[in-house]
Structure 1
Amino acid sequence: MTSDDIPRPEAEQLRGLDETARVARTFEAIADRGALWVWGDEGDVLFTEDARRRNLLPIWPYATVARLENEGEVDGEHAIRIPADVFLREWLPQLEEDDADIAVFPVEERNAAVLTLAEFRSRLR
């Protein structure tokens, strides 16, 4: 567990929150810890699609909740910490080029929210 992560029992409790609470907790954690988490390996990150076939980048507030959602699906994949300032400066422009939105704190393939990049940027600031 990294210094900005949480214990598994706390992560399991967070996964049980409703969608509104998961969104709020995600933005609180990003503000407090200055980072968010995505899932992937050394060469690629996980993207998903919604029912309208929009490309979505799932994000989580802590590594442990990302692990609980994804661990064991593909060998070599793990939670990847992205500093919030790097995400804003480098990732959002790339996501815009890729025409992707952000899936906030998915649990069992249910997103707490899907935000456009502008909505995400506004909420983060």
Structure 2
Amino acid sequence: MTSDDIPRREAEQLRELDETARVARTFEAIADRGALWVWGDEGDVLFTEDARRRNLLPIWPYATVARLENEGEVDGEHAIRIPADVFLREWLPQLEEDDADIAVFPVEERNAAVLTLAEFRSRLR
């Protein structure tokens, strides 16, 4: 567990929250810790699609909840910490080029929210 992560028991409790509470907790964690988590490997990050076939980048507030959602699916993949300022400065422009939105704190393929990049930027600031 990294120094800005949480114990498994707490992560399991967070996964049980409703969508509104998971969104709120995600933005609280980003504000408190200055980072968010994505899933991938050294060369690629996980993207998903919704029913409307929009490209979505799933994000989580802590590495442990990302691991609970994804671990064991593909060898070599892991939670990747992204500092919030780097995400805003480098990742959002790339996501805009890729025409992707953000899936907040998915649990069992249910997103707490899907935010456009403008909505995410606004919430983060």
TM-superposed CA distance for 1:61, in Å, is: 0.0
Deviations 1:2-24 (A, max 9, x none): 00000000000000000000000
TM-score normalized by structure 1?
Answer: 1.00
TM-superposed CA distance for 1:93, in Å, is: 0.0
**2: distance between equivalents of 1:56 and 1:123?**
17
Deviations 1:22-45 (A, max 9, x none): 000000000000000000000000
TM-superposed CA distance for 1:113, in Å, is: 0.0
Deviations 1:47-106 (A, max 9, x none): 000000000000000000000000000000000000000000000000000000000000
Identity %: 98
Moved over 4 A (4+): none
Count of aligned residue pairs for this structure pair: 125
TM-score normalized by structure 2?
Answer: 1.00
Partner of 1:113: 113
RMSD of aligned C-alpha atoms? 0.1
TM-superposed CA distance for 1:115, in Å, is: 0.0
**1: distance between equivalents of 2:4 and 2:91?**
21
